[in-house]
Amino acid sequence: MTAALQDSPPAGTAPPVRSRRVSRTVVSGGERVSRGWMVAATAVVAVASLYFLAPVLWLVIASTKSASDLFSTPGFALADWHLWENVRDLSTYDGGIFWRWALNSVVYSVVGSVLTTLLCAATGYALAVYRFRGRALLIGIVLGSLLVPGTVLAQPTYVLLVNLGLNNTYWGLLLPGLSYPFGVLLAWIFAQNAIPTELLEAARLDGSGEFRTFAGIGLRLMSSGLVTILLFAFLGSWNNYLLPLLVLTDAELMPLTVGLTGWNQASITIPSLQILTVVGSLVSVVPIAIVFLALQRFWRAGLSAGSVRG
């Protein structure tokens, strides 16, 4: 363990004191481990956690400060409670444009991820369930396109959207996100593992049509895997930055990422925007963090299924 401990530089501070081997052992997770190592390991992890949590903690504390306290009080100390005033200012600035951005982000992410997941599910299901001409080609395309880095496509996609007259529209940002080969790969793996042949045969014998079988049996059996695809597609479009930056010029259409970074840039000349950027960041992080952490069980299972076979 010593090397592992020393290799862990996250916060660069206080490598735990090498504890003497204590004869007493404790049982943890069904395995017998020495108490000294347990304290040491937990200390390393705790120090690392500090590094990962500190910026988020700062964001929460900073959001409760007034614009002037943000600069004049120590970062991690609470000052006068100003959170609600900040949220009010956030909501009224520039005619409430912040909530417009939030709504846009929700629309892009929810509509986009639901449609993406459906496309991936249908394609993955067909790859797993049917043998048809062109199937091998399709699989080759899906695997091959995993090597194409998404952001490299942003610039030519922008050129394409300009030619189609879709730049600076909702569709211009929604449609390109629907192409998600990694999601197809995951859906294919899930469908292979989760849908027993016998069940489909039985459904056919009962006279169920192919599409009804897919909607009634396929989607339901694949559901825990589909949650993973849904979450990653959602996160992908919630975090999207380069494409909207290129495609959208109208502030009314922008998602949170573009809007908030715009404020951050403008705060050099308009200092009052700094605290609004801080509060806006907090407001944009909280819902997604809650959703993501609440659904851990699903995407964790999905991830391990994906990485074992993928």
Site for another protein in 65-84 (CB under 8 A): 70-71, 74-76
Interface stretch with another protein, choices 14-22, 79-87, 195-203, 220-228 (CB under 8 A): 195-203
The smaller minimum CB distance to another protein, of residues 88 and 135, is found at 135
With CB under 8 A as the contact rule, the residue among 15, 181, 208, 298 that binds another protein is 181
Query: Phi/psi of residue 139, each to 5°?
Result: -65, -40
CB of 43 to another protein, least distance (A): 10
Interface with another protein in residues 272-291 (CB under 8 A): 274, 277-278, 281, 284-285, 288-289
With CB under 8 A as the contact rule, the residue among 14, 23, 149, 206 that binds another protein is 149
Name which of 137, 231, 142 is nearest 184 in CA terms: 142
CB of 292 to another protein, least distance (A): 4
| 298 interacts with another protein by CB under 8 A | no
In whole angstroms, give the CA distance from residue 223 to residue 19.
47
| 123 interacts with another protein by CB under 8 A | yes
Contact 173, 240 (CB under 8 A): yes
With CB under 8 A as the contact rule, the residue among 24, 95, 207, 293 that binds another protein is 293
Interface with another protein in residues 204-263 (CB under 8 A): 204, 210-211, 214, 238-239, 241-242, 245-246, 256-257, 260-261
Q: What is the DSSP string of 254-279?
A: --HHHHHHHHHHHTTT-THHHHHHHH
Q: Is 134 helix (H, G, I), strand (E, B) or coil?
A: coil
Question: Largest alpha-carbon pair distance within the chain?
Answer: 74
CB of 81 to another protein, least distance (A): 19
Q: How far does CA 120 lie from the centroid of its chain?
A: 17
Q: Is 162 helix (H, G, I), strand (E, B) or coil?
A: helix
What region, left, alpha or beta, does residue 80 occupy, with left being phi > 0 and alpha being psi -120 to 50 degrees? Answer: beta
Query: Phi/psi of residue 171, each to 5°?
Result: -60, -35
The smaller minimum CB distance to another protein, of residues 37 and 170, is found at 37
The smaller minimum CB distance to another protein, of residues 88 and 204, is found at 204
